[in-house]
Amino acid sequence: MEKKLVVSSSPHLRAPETIQSIMFDVLTALFPAALAGVLLFGYSALITILLATFTAMLTEALVLRTRNIIGDGSAAVTGLLLALTLPPAPPWWLVVFGSVVAILIGKHVFGGLGSNLFNPALVGRAVLTVSWAGHMTAWAAPLDGVSAATPLAGGSASMLEMFTGTIPGSIGETSAAALLLGALWLFYKGLISWHIPVSYIATVFVMGAIQAGAGFAGPAEMLSQGLFHVLAGGLLLAAFFMATDMVTSPVTREGQVIFGAGIGIITMAIRFYGGYPEGVTFAILLMNGATPLIDNLTVPTKFGEVKA
């Protein structure tokens, strides 16, 4: 036999899915939200998205010392996610700074892909939020660009407006419809399971409803307050695209439910009692930090474990 046979360890079949295919699927899932952001907030939103994404990709390529700027696609996901959490018209240097921080501090100081403890995009956003609070809360009404308050900061909005996204807010967070469309794609591709989003959203809904109930409101008011907290702010973007980040969330299903509920509780605590109107970013970052602990507490019972 002239040609040598390949010898490798079993299994000899591998599933088609790769890290790169996962990242491209996430980018595809984020497309509706990004498109809605551009349609609602215009040219400046498009520039912000492109700038954040490209800066993230470039930073990653520099850190990895590679000419392959696309790489595994994970940097593009981080950059795009960061852009979607930014206000519609931030200064260019803010976008670049946030993106560089996300990749450098959020990801590579921990060891790069798979080793980061915290969601890189949210690390970038958190740094920007505490450093330039003014720029980070420069909200504008969609379509006409007049400055306005978000629903969580006391602005008024109907449920329908919150569903379509014609409310002030970050580029990618306002349109529930676009986010749900993207989430459907993630479910269809098997990239997220119900555990984190459902436990997170359910916790927020219940806590929102209970708070309304504590003010002796009727069931209709409780329902609408619960729903308000689910649709307001960055909650849906966070529930489907941020909290579900594989690297920074628990691996077991049980752990994911604890994780989601924990984010929900912290989010609502910040919304009710905190200094910021929105608490999603810090809620997720705090629970990211708890992930190794949750993983240790939810090690599955192995098959055949003798039940004492």
Partner 1 sequence: MAKTFKGGVHPGHFKSATAGKPIADANPPARVAVLMQQHIGAPCEPLVEVGDAVKVGQKVGDSQAFVSVPAHSSVSGKVVELRDYPHPVGRPARAVVIESDGQDTWHESVKANPPLEELSGDDIKKIIREAGIAGMGGATFPTHVKLSPPPEKPIDTVIINGSECEPFLTADHRLMLERPEAVVFGLKALMKVLGVEKGYIGVEDNKPDCVEALKKAAEGEPVEVKSFHTKYPQGAEKQLIYAFNGREVPSGGLPMDVGTVVQNAGTAVAIADAVRKGVPLLERIVTVTGPGVEAPANLRVKIGTMVSEVIAQCGGLKENARKVILGGPMMGLAQNTTEMPVIKGTSGILVLTDKEVHIHEIQPCIRCGRCVEVCPVSIMPLVIGSATEKGYPDKAEAYHAVDCIECGCCSYICPAKRPLTQWIRLSKGEILAKAKKK
Instruction: Write out the residues near partner 1 by the rule CB under 8 A.
Output: 1, 3-15, 17-19, 21-22, 72, 112-115, 246-253, 299-306
Closest distance to partner 1 from the beta carbon of 100 (Å): 21
| Between 67 and 302, CB nearer to partner 1 | 302
Closest distance to partner 1 from the beta carbon of 109 (Å): 15
3-state SS track over the chain: CCCCCCCCCCCCCCCCCCHHHHHHHHHHHHHHHHHHHHHHHCHHHHHHHHHHHHHHHHHHHHHHCCCCCCCCCHHHHHHHHHHHCCCCCCCHHHHHHHHHHHHHCCCHHHCCCCCCCCCHHHHHHHHHHHHCHHHHCCCECCCCCCECCCHHHCCCCCHHHHHHCCCCCCCCCCCHHHHHHHHHHHHHCCCCCCHHHHHHHHHHHHHHHHHHHHCCCCHHHHHHHHHHHHHCCCHHHHHHHHCCCCCCCCCCHHHHHHHHHHHHHHHHHHHHHCCCCCCHHHHHHHHHHHHHHHHHHCCCCCCCCCCC
| Between 218 and 292, CB nearer to partner 1 | 292
Closest distance to partner 1 from the beta carbon of 37 (Å): 26
Closest distance to partner 1 from the beta carbon of 303 (Å): 4
Is the dihedral angle over the CA atoms 196, 88, 126, 225 positive or is it negative? negative
| Between 4 and 134, CB nearer to partner 1 | 4
Closest distance to partner 1 from the beta carbon of 112 (Å): 7
Closest distance to partner 1 from the beta carbon of 196 (Å): 11
| Between 139 and 240, CB nearer to partner 1 | 240
| Between 228 and 259, CB nearer to partner 1 | 259
| Between 133 and 251, CB nearer to partner 1 | 251
